[in-house]
Structure formats: structure tokens, C-alpha cells
Structure 1
Amino acid sequence: MKWNLPNILTIGRLFACFGVVIMFLYFNRPWADWFALILFAAAAITDFFDGYLARAWNQTSKFGAMLDPIADKAMVVIALLIIVGFSGMDPWLLLPATVIIFREVFVSGLREFLGDDAKTLAVTKLAKWKTTAQMVAIAVLFSKGAFEHYLIEQTVGMDPALVQAILAGEADDVLGLRWKDAGWDLSWSIGLVLLWVAAVLTLITGWDYFRKSLPYLRDG
């Protein structure tokens, strides 16, 4: 393997997958959500730069080509497992997450089976948009967890009627509960919509890869 900057960025993205998990093991929420968001966003940005720098500096390698998609898939799958788990297995979140994870496993299996013919499943522009939608959706959903726990922490022990009055604008909002509640709702809505968009693109690109592989799956 070649120890160049693109490959180092790719390896760093792979380790960031475990870092996101560690954030929730050693930090309390909402700090864990913010740290996970920052780490995930930084890793997602390197996904663009490692490929760009490898091409610009003519530092492409077989090791980087092998590890890059693995790092991408590991990031998405691990982050989705964390988000779904901490969201109480919400079905509106669980379904698109399941579609995305199933597609990643399915396409990885296809590529492994095709071996040298896997070049027929080259990454398409639509697949890149799919990955972008996944990354942005996951980052937004991490921020949703932070807003949620800020609001929960500051309303523990408060009279529920007073909380409702504050959120409805009928009482003074000294603690800034209204903007935290708005951030919770907005980040959840945007993150969920983007995740469904990513799930739809996942199905389209998955079917496209399967269609391209059909000539290599027929007997005889």
C-alpha cells in the first residue's frame, strides 16, 4: 500500500466510524450528538477530498480504490444503526434505513460475485448523489438528537402546562425552549425527508446495478 495523503484520509474515515460509536460510550448526550456530528461531517468531507486529491496528484492506488467504498458504507451503516437505536426504532426512520443497508449489502455481494467483471458496476453520478443525500441526512439527524436532549434536560421537573404555555408563546421563554423545540422539529423533518430521498435513490441505483449484472448471472 502507498502511504499518501488520499489513502491516509480514507483510513482516517474508516477509524471515524468507530469514533462515532465511542462518542456515545464516553460522553453524555447532547454532547455525544454534537461530537458525533462534527466527526461524521469531517469524515464525510474527506470522502470528497481523498478522491479529488488522488486524481489531481496522480496518487490513485489499488488499496485506495478498495478501501474507499468500504469506508463509505461502514460510515453510513454504523451511523444509521446509532440513529435508529436512539430514535426508539421509529418506523418512519427504520424503513428507509433498512432499504439503504440492504442495498449496500446487496451491491457489495454482487461486486464480490462478479470479481473481475465488477467494473460493469462502476459508480454512477446518481450513486454519488445518493451518497451525498445519505451523508447530509445523517448529519442533520445527529443534530436532531442534540436539540432533543437540550429541550428534555431543561424541562425536567417543570410543570408540563408551563412548558406547553412557553412553547405556545403564552409565557416568557427565559431558557430559549422555543428555538430548541423548533430546531428539534426542523432537523427531524429535514433529516427524515433527505433519508427517504436517499432511500429512493438507493433503490434506483441498486436496480441499475442489478440490471447491469444480469448478463453475468445467467447460466450457460
Structure 2
Amino acid sequence: MTRARNLTVPNVITVARIATIPVIVWLLTTGDIGMRVVAVIIFAVAAGTDWVDGFIARRFNQVSPLGRMLDPIADKLLVGLVLTALAWDGSLSALDLVPVMAILFREFFIPGLREFLGNAQVVLPVSRLAKWKTTIQLVAIIVIFLEGILPNLRLASDVILWLAGAITVWTGIQYFAASWPHLSGEEK
């Protein structure tokens, strides 16, 4: 019964999103422009499945504990590992690493904070801005990919990446502020 409940279309889509990550990274790191085109197409499809799996889960009542756990992990793996590969292959400048480090810091810190607070029976709900944060991060990565094909996109990729970094930091601050009473022992 549990296995069937976990083998839902949204969960399969989420696992498929995770499975695309090594393929995307490998294609990107070949250094071949044709492979980069394929990588950005796969990445864009994988990024789109973030919305699709959630829609299907809600629409057809296929929300599951496994899906609630896997979906944010899939997002963080997709963003974090692809940003790391883009840094490794030289797609990011030294200055670009500032928002990238902010993104990676927040993407590790907030789940750790949630886990800690979960042990204390405190839930930090995902904000609407945090959902937009993920979307803007995914768009930034697509534009960075495309910049490797169309260098004229340099300014656009920088602006979107820094916007993603700023929103990521802001949502991290919001979560930290909301959790502070529980961390400081001042909760009522």
C-alpha cells in the first residue's frame, strides 16, 4: 500500500528531475556548444517539471509525504549542482560567484533551520516569494546557459543572477527572522 501511494506521477516526475542533473552537468562540462544546447533544453524541461509535479499532485490529490520531502530537495540539487558546474566550466565570472555563494548558502542553511525547528514541532511555511525565488533562480541559470551560446546575453544573465541572489538572501532573512523567537528561547 505505501509503495503504491509513493509511486505517483508527481513523485516519478520529481525523481526524473533529479536523474537529469548528472546528464545536464556532463553535457555542460564537455565544452561542446552543441552539447550545451542539449543541456539547456534538458535543464529547461527539468525546471518546468517543478511546476508540473506540484500541479498534478494538487489537482489529482496525489500529494504525499515522499513528494513533500523530495520536491524541494530536487530543486536545491538542480540549482546547486548546475550552478557549481557553471562555475567550474568558466561560465561565471568571479563577481558572479557572490550571488551564487549567497544562493548556495541559503539553500543549505534554511533546510537545516527547518530540520532543527521541525524537531521542536515548529513549521516554517514556504512563502510565495520563496516560490518565486526558485523560479528566478531557474530562469537565471537558463540565461547563463544561453550566454555561453549567445554572448550578447551577458548583461541580462548578470542582472537576473544578481536579482535571484538578492531575493534568495531576502527570503533567507525572512525565514531566519520568523524562526528567531524559537532559536533564542523567546517564543511564547
Q: Normalization by structure 2: what TM-score?
A: 0.90
Aligned length: 182
Give the superposition deviation at 1:219: 3.9
Counterpart AA for 2:45: A
Taking a change above 3 Å as real, the CA distance of residues 61 and 75 of structure 1, as seen in their structure-2 partners, is: same
Are residues 118 and 203 of structure 1, via their aligned partners in 2, closer, same or farther at CA, if it must alter by over 3 Å? Answer: farther
Which piece of structure 1 moves more, 79-88 or 129-138?
A: 79-88
> 2:163 and 2:48 mapped to 1: Cα distance?
20
Letter in 2 for 1:203: V
Identical-pair percentage: 40
The residue aligned with 1:16 is: 20
Note if contact 1:54-1:60 (Cα within 8 Å) is conserved in structure 2: yes
Q: Which has the larger radius of gyration?
A: 1
Contact 1:120-1:213 within 8 A present in 2 as well:
no
Q: Is the 8 A contact 1:111 1:118 kept in 2?
A: no
1:3 is aligned, of 2, 7, 18, to 7
Residue ranges of structure 1 left out of the alignment (5+ in a row): 148-182
User: What root-mean-square deviation, in Å, do the aligned CA atoms of Structure 1 and Structure 2 show?
Assistant: 1.7
Given that residues 91 and 144 in structure 2 are in contact (C-alpha distance below 8 angstroms), is that contact kept between their aligned partners in structure 1?
A: no
Match of 1:189 in 2: 155
Q: Is 2:181 aligned against 1:215?
A: yes
8 Å Cα contact 1:10-1:46 kept in structure 2:
yes
- Residue equivalent to 2:59: 56
Q: 1:96 to 1:124 in 2, by over 3 A?
A: same
Secondary structure of the residue aligned to 1:196 is helix
Aligned mates of 2:34, 2:167 — CA distance in 1: 32
User: Any idea what the Cα deviations from partners look like across 1:129-181, whole Å, max 9, x if unmatched?
Assistant: 11111001101111111x2xxxxxxxxxxxxxxxxxxxxxxxxxxxxxxxxxx
Q: Tell which deviates more after alignment, 7-16 or 89-98.
A: 89-98
The alpha carbon displacement at 1:116 in A equals: 4.8
TM-score, normalization: structure 1?
Answer: 0.78
Does residue 94 of structure 2 align to residue 128 of structure 1? no
1:160-179 aligned within 5 A = none
